[in-house]
Chains A and B, each alone.
Chain A
Amino acid sequence: MLELKNISFKVSVENQEKEILKNVNLVIDDKFVAITGPNGGGKSTLAKIIAGIYQPTTGQILLDGVDITNKSITERANLGISFAFQQPVRFKGLTVRDLITLSAGKQITVSEACTYLSEVGLCARDYIDREINASLSGGELKRIEIAMIMARGTKLSVFDEPEAGIDLWSFNNLIRVFEKMHEKTNGSIIIISHQERILDIADKIALVANGEVKKYGSKEEILPELLRKENTNFGCVKL
């Protein structure tokens, strides 16, 4: 269970203070929680706060009741938090196999590594020894990013727009991947997404806009409301 208590995050931009997250309170104890909301609303910032990449200005983060607010990225990773970036990072020289192995945290066989790649629709043989460099396409990188989180297999996984850049055909498979994760996980999955079909497989949905949690509740409660709003004046939510 992940608890965010009174989280705020301020940065100073050109000597002006900007509050990116304002008093966020959120309890994640379901298997699958989707976070949605307009561009620039603060979703990725929230994910980075959870992973430890940003330190909140105020507030507390608890993982299974343990205060992890002052824990480093590495410590949180080892406590069971995984984070798939919205924009995956490229590495000259490191191969897909290297990153999957580092993700798994131990030596794994080629066939094990390949299983994760196949899950995300990459023909493993063609990719396992590829360098994670500029030659990989955006969609390929996103899939490798997802495979890495699967290889980690931690109790809390945060995916930041995993579907972005993934083609339509693969999108159906991706939905299946997340459905399967949903079924199998003993922990929680948080997915930041703008896609109705991803929101639709969530247990709960949080709407984050303007640095605040505007709504948080069961899918049945939130989704119809979001879809209605889209037709009225809430044009910002791309669903």
Chain B
Amino acid sequence: MNIIEKGLLEKITGLHEVPQGAYNIRANGGLGGRNTTANIDIVSKEDKPGIDIIIKPNTKNESVHIPVVVSKSGLNDLVYNDFYIGENADVVIVAGCGIHNNGDEKSSHDGIHSFHVGKNAKIKYVEKHYGDGDGLGERVMNPTTVIEIDEGGYMEMETTQIKGIDSTVRVTNASLANDAKLVIKESLMTHGKQYAKTDFTVDLNGENSSANVISRSVAKDESYQVFLSNINGNNKCAGHTECDAIIMDKARVSAIPEITANHIDASLIHEAAIGKIAGEQLLKLMTLGLTEEEAEEQIVNGFLK
């Protein structure tokens, strides 16, 4: 990998070197490195671009890193990744995509990730999106995540997009069996003329299944965000969705939560709040000696943390 690709990799994984444990690095549409372990196998798909990640039952305390970096202007990358998480496994999966576009053509990465979370398995999925480069070419990412959680399974998904992606439409669909649990935490910051749409649909099919979808976002400049969250309670279940957004400058945010109870014991809540930074928050931090800009930055960083 060259220096730009290494830089992108660091932005999305926080790692300077190749990751520990299992990993698969995709660089400019090709393979940039792979490692498997006794419990975690990674296999390239034969029929289409992408990989199968197979985690054996009872695998504990292991991690898989599958970063994607795009540094060629004009590259439009599409992958299908399938994750099979065996029963009782307990693992961390770190994905992420960085685009560096110095050219004037559009660069994009569209990933379709499917998670099959086995019985009583527990996974934490961390996903970071990042873009940079000075070209006029757009940086576009349209990730789709499909989640199926079997009985008693647990998945926590942390998705972050802090800067540099011009356009993104993120679709997440989940279905949960009995006693399954899903937690999604999204943090998002858009600036310039960026557009970001988030679309969550969760089907709570199993008895005692539960979902908590939390989004915190900051929209700056002339950016535009749309947050759609749709939870269907099809059994005795609990669902909660929350969108909390700060708008600045001339930005716009729409939050469209939708909850549907199809069962008498479904208990669903949605909350949405959009507003600018409270004036008194800025005043308080300024009385501590921060400038208005520094105060704003602290408030935004804390909010997205």
Contacts and interface: CB of A to CB of B under 8 A. Distances in A.
Contacts of A73: 283, 286-287
Nearest to B286: A73
Given A92-B302, A94-B298, A78 B289 contact: yes
A91 B287 contact: no
A53 B281 CA distance: 12
A105 interface: yes
B79 interface: no
B288 interface: yes
Contacts of A83: 287
B305 A93 contact: yes
Nearest to A93: B302
B281 A91 contact: yes
A152 B290 CA distance: 12
Nearest to B277: A91
A82 B285 CA distance: 11
Determine the main DSSP class of B at the interface with A.
helix
A81 B286 CA distance: 11
A162 to B, nearest CB: 15
A93 to B, nearest CB: 4
A103 B298 contact: no
A178 interface: no
A109 B244 CA distance: 32
A77 B287 CA distance: 5
B288 A148 contact: yes
A152 B284 CA distance: 13
Nearest to A73: B286
B28 to A, nearest CB: 36
Contacts of B286: 72-74, 77
Contacts of B289: 74, 77-78, 105, 152
Interface string A60-100: 00000000000011100110011101001101111100110
Given A92-B244, A93-B302, A85 B288 contact: no
Interface residues of B, number: 22
A105 B292 CA distance: 15
Interface in A103-137: 103, 105
A91 B302 contact: yes
A102 interface: yes
A51 interface: yes
B134 interface: no
Most central of B278, B285, B291 by chain A CB within 10 Å: B285
Most central of A73, A78, A89, A152 by chain B CB within 10 Å: A73
Given A92-B303, A98-B302, A103 B278 contact: no
A190 to B, nearest CB: 14
A53 B283 contact: yes
Given A82-B287, A83-B287, A91-B281, A74 B303 contact: no
B162 interface: no
A74 to B, nearest CB: 5
Contacts of A53: 283, 287
B304 interface: yes
A223 B130 CA distance: 64
Given A72-B286, A78-B289, 11 more contacts: A51-B287, A74-B290, A74-B291, A77-B287, A88-B284, A91-B299, A91-B302, A92-B302, A93-B299, A93-B303, A93-B304
Q: Which 3 residue pairs of A and B lie closest in terms of their CB atoms, listed nearest first?
A: A93-B302, A94-B302, A77-B289
7 contacts: A74-B292, A77-B288, A83-B287, A89-B283, A94-B299, A99-B288, A105-B289
Interface of A: 51, 53, 72-74, 77-78, 81-83, 85, 88-89, 91-95, 98-99, 102-103, 105, 148, 152
Interface of B: 216, 244, 278, 280-281, 283-292, 298-299, 301-305
